[in-house]
Amino acid sequence: MGRTAWRGLLLVLLTLAGCGAGDKEARARAAAEGYLQALKDKDPDRAMAFFARTYFETRSSAGWKADLRLITARLGALQAYSLKKWNWRTDFVPPDSGTHVTLEYEVKYAKHTATETFVVYKPLARGEYKIVGHKIASKGFTLE
């Protein structure tokens, strides 16, 4: 492949990757922080809207809401959150072709703090950033 062909391929890949890193962070943060703010506002139905449909393929929405009640019982009401670190990668190989942004937050609840990690995904072709993974770690789960 000639130099011009490589430059053309690189241009296509960069175009497919979409926006710059700062824009990826802002859009992914909007999904994660939209979820956190909905929890802070005690609105689980609004919180669910920030998750990808695929997130609920392995759990029911009723089970997910039961988990939220357990989190609140153990940790208390969500009071504040702050982003600690983030990173991103773009995959070009199906079926996961798209941008994955991992965001780690320190979350202050009424009784305990937690570290919450979100994986937010946007397909290459089209779509918006949605949460596809969420992990929460807190000593409050073992103390209560």
Show the tokens assigned to 62. Answer: 């009723």
For the chain, which residues make up each domain, given as ranges?
Answer: 19-143
Question: Which band of pLDDT confidence, cut at 50, 70 and 90, is reported for residue 1?
Answer: low
Residues 76-131 have pLDDT tens digits of: 999 999 999 999 999 998 888 999 999 999 999 999 999 999 999 999 888 899 99
Residue 19: pLDDT over 60? no
Rounded CA gap, 27 and 46, in Å? 17
Residue 52: pLDDT over 90? yes
Rounded CA gap, 48 and 27, in Å? 17
What does CATH list as the number for 19-143? 3.10.450.50
Q: What is the pLDDT of residue 16?
A: 45
Rounded CA gap, 33 and 42, in Å? 14
Residues 20-43 have pLDDT tens digits of: 677 889 999 999 999 999 999 999
Q: What is the pLDDT of residue 2?
A: 57
pTM: 0.82
Residue type, 108: K
Q: What is the pLDDT of residue 143?
A: 81
Rounded CA gap, 1 and 115, in Å? 47
Q: What is the pLDDT of residue 4?
A: 54
Q: Are strands 78-91 and 98-109 parallel, antiparallel or unpaired?
A: antiparallel
